[in-house]
């Protein structure tokens, strides 16, 4: 009997101990005070409560993300149509209608030029979908009207030739129409196969078209006419992009209902907009993709962190077919490849060659992988948004990143890194941001553009500035971070063509968004940037400061623990370069625009059924 009582007592003891342990672990996860207590000691094994039944993490999520990305992209490539009948059938399956007239000529162009993703044009269908509610006559009228607005150029196809259409405007603008020139250049190989039509090309980088929710939902609703004569090129204190954007949201969303959607509740607390704190339960939240689907209607506070909501240029409040290089969620622009991505430009082209028509395959300043510096590199201007309303530039995407990466930053970060003592397992060490930044970050502004609270003196005091560098100097670094500017980043294709690995953070969709795979071709980074230190720690191993704080600086095995990570980083760099050579080519951009033109031509027609292709 006493034996059974002893067993029962032991069982009860361990049950109570388990409950107590569980409670403590819940406190570690759920309480900020508990988290602070947990990390009072700088180096710890990963918490039991977060990572299952062991107090040692023996699997890092990045290899799984990379493996899943590779499998997903291989599946995408394998399922592409191999014949014209297959392509027609796939088109009808996806979109419920016949392809546009001229689809057979497009298919010949695509296959002759070895286009890999012949079925992946959902972006075009998505962008053009709202215009099916308009008649051909109204579509044509709106295209011409759009060309009379400031900073919008008209490209006309007339008798098989693409030309600039000179429209008399009352607006003075400093834009030189480079995007219209780039669009015409992409039409050259097939312009003779297209009908007469007009394309309004956005001369700005920012998105322009914001259609109010009521007019999206009820397309036949009588709306106020947009007076071209009375349209002003900029806001001039009579509104803002955010004010116009809010109207695109449904009436029951936070952006339409809250007064705070007008006002910045964190104006006196700039650190609150730098993203979440790097706490123990957040350090492994690696972004699986970029933030192109960030919903500002439901999370209106997020708009303070993105400069495109503060553009000076007035948006268009009606459904006009404006072709732009990128669009953020909620905008109705039609995507086309950026003019920076084709042709040559010393600031935007990898392998720039001033003596030949085509760029060099290997840039003169390229560096072998093993000779590249193992830090995160970025140089750029303070562009990131306009100044309407003024005072918000400290929260723009580039400013936030540079303050986070400043050598005098005051935050602490939890770094998860492989243990030299137990290879294949990971431990956490809390490291001051200033030490991390001095060791693994080389980021700086090279010029000041626009306004900043406190003037340029305050801007230079709070952000690092350095001399401008030629594009080719970027190739000396293993990590190239790509950040949005006033809109999309024009250097992305150049970065992808290099032998370096690209870390990209963006809220914009571009023509290639569905063609590229995060964690295979590049490393995605969230808009908060908070995971970037752990990205570096995985691929390049713990920094010197991390090892010193973890009391592991003199462990002999330290020099071996990042060899595998370095090979994986190199794999991403090489996959990105291969993507640029096979899917990010100029001819792939031409195939995209050719297909867009066929879809556009059907909308242009009065009898759209007659502009369908039937086998």
Q: What per-residue confidence (pLDDT) applies to 186?
A: 98
Burial class (CB in 10 A: 0-12, 13-18, 19+), 594: buried
Tell me how far the alpha carbon of residue 198 is from its chain's centroid. Answer: 30
Q: What per-residue confidence (pLDDT) applies to 557?
A: 65
The stretches in the chain having pLDDT less than 70 are 1-57, 174, 220-226, 258-284, 556-561
pTM of the model: 0.88
144 lies in a domain?
Answer: no
Tokens 């000041």 belong to residue: 448
458 lies in a domain?
Answer: yes
**Distance between CA atoms of residues 151 and 15, nearest Å:** 71
Report pLDDT digits (tens) over 205-243. Answer: 999 999 999 988 877 665 566 677 788 889 988 899 999
533 lies in a domain?
Answer: yes
**Domain span at 517:** 352-583
186 lies in a domain?
Answer: no
427 lies in a domain?
Answer: yes
Task: Note whether 591 and 106 are within 8 A (CB).
Answer: yes
- As for how many domains the chain has, the answer is 1
Burial class (CB in 10 A: 0-12, 13-18, 19+), 220: exposed
Q: What is the 3-state secondary structure of 270-314?
A: HHHHCCCCCCCCCCCCCCCCCCCCCCCCCCHHHHHHCHHHHCCEC
479 lies in a domain?
Answer: yes
Q: What per-residue confidence (pLDDT) applies to 365?
A: 98
CATH number at residue 495: 3.40.50
540 lies in a domain?
Answer: yes
Tokens 């801007």 belong to residue: 459
Four-CA torsion 88, 91, 96, 99, nearest 10 degrees = -60
375 lies in a domain?
Answer: yes
Task: Note whether 371 and 474 are within 8 A (CB).
Answer: no
Residues 6+ apart with CB under 8 A from 252: none
* Closest of 204, 216, 210 to residue 180, by C-alpha: 204
Tokens of 311: 């553009």
């Amino acid at each position: 009997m006493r034996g059974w009582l002893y067993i029962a007592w032991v069982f009860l003891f361990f049950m109570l101990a388990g409950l107590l342990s569980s409670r403590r672990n819940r406190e570690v996860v759920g309480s900020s005070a508990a988290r602070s207590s947990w990390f009072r000691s700088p180096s710890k094994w990963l918490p039991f409560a977060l990572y299952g039944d062991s107090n040692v993490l023996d699997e890092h999520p990045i290899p799984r993300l990379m493996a899943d990305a590779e499998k997903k992209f291989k599946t995408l490539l394998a399922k592409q149509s191999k014949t014209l009948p297959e392509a027609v059938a796939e088109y009808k399956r996806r979109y419920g209608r016949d392809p546009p007239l001229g689809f057979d000529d497009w298919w010949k162009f695509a296959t002759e030029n070895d286009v890999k993703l012949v079925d992946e044009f959902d972006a075009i269908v998505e962008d053009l979908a709202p215009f099916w509610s308009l008649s051909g006559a109204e579509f044509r009228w709106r295209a011409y009207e759009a060309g009379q607005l400031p900073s919008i150029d008209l490209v006309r196809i007339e008798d098989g030739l693409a030309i600039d259409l000179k429209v008399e405007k009352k607006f003075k603008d400093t834009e030189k129409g480079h995007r219209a020139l780039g669009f015409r250049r992409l039409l050259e190989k097939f312009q003779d196969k297209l009908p007469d039509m007009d394309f309004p090309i956005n001369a700005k980088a920012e998105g322009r078209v914001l259609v109010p929710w009521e007019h999206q939902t009820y397309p036949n609703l009588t709306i106020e006419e947009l007076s071209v004569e009375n349209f002003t090129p900029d806001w001039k204190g009579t509104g803002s992009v955010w004010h116009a954007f809010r109207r695109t949201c449904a009436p029951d969303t936070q952006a339409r209902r809250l007064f705070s959607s007008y006002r910045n509740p964190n104006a006196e607390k700039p650190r609150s907009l730098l993203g979440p704190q790097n706490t123990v339960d957040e350090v492994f939240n690696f972004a699986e993709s970029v933030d192109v689907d960030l919903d500002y209607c439901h999370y209106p506070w997020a708009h303070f962190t993105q400069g495109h909501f503060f553009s000076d240029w007035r948006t268009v409040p009606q459904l006009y077919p404006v072709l732009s290089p990128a669009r953020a969620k909620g905008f109705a622009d039609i995507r086309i490849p950026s003019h920076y991505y084709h042709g040559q430009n010393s600031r935007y082209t990898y392998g720039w060659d001033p003596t030949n028509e085509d760029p060099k395959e290997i840039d003169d300043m390229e560096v072998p992988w093993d000779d590249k510096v193992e830090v995160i590199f970025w140089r750029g201007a303070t562009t990131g948004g306009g100044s309407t309303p003024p005072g918000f530039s400290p929260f723009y995407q580039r400013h936030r990143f540079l303050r986070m990466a400043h050598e005098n930053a005051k935050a602490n970060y939890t770094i998860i890194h492989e243990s030299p003592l137990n290879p294949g397992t990971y431990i956490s060490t809390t490291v001051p941001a200033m030490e991390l930044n001095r060791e693994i970050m080389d980021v700086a502004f090279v010029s000041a553009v626009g306004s900043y609270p406190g003037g340029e003196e305050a801007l230079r005091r709070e952000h690092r500035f350095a001399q401008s560098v030629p594009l080719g100097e970027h190739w000396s670094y293993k990590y190239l971070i790509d950040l949005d500017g006033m809109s999309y980043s024009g250097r992305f294709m150049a970065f992808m063509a290099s032998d370096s690995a690209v870390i990209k953070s963006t809220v914009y969709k571009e023509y290639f968004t569905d063609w590229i795979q995060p964690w295979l071709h590049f490393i995605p980074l969230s808009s908060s940037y908070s995971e970037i230190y752990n990205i570096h720690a995985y691929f390049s191993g713990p920094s010197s400061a991390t090892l010193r704080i973890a009391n592991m600086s003199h462990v002999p095995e330290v020099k071996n623990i990042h060899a595998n990570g370095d090979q994986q980083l190199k794999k991403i760099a090489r996959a990105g370069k291969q993507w640029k050579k096979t899917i990010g080519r100029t001819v792939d951009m031409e195939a995209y625009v050719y297909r867009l033109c066929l879809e556009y031509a059907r909308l242009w027609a009065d009898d759209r059924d007659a502009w369908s292709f039937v086998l």
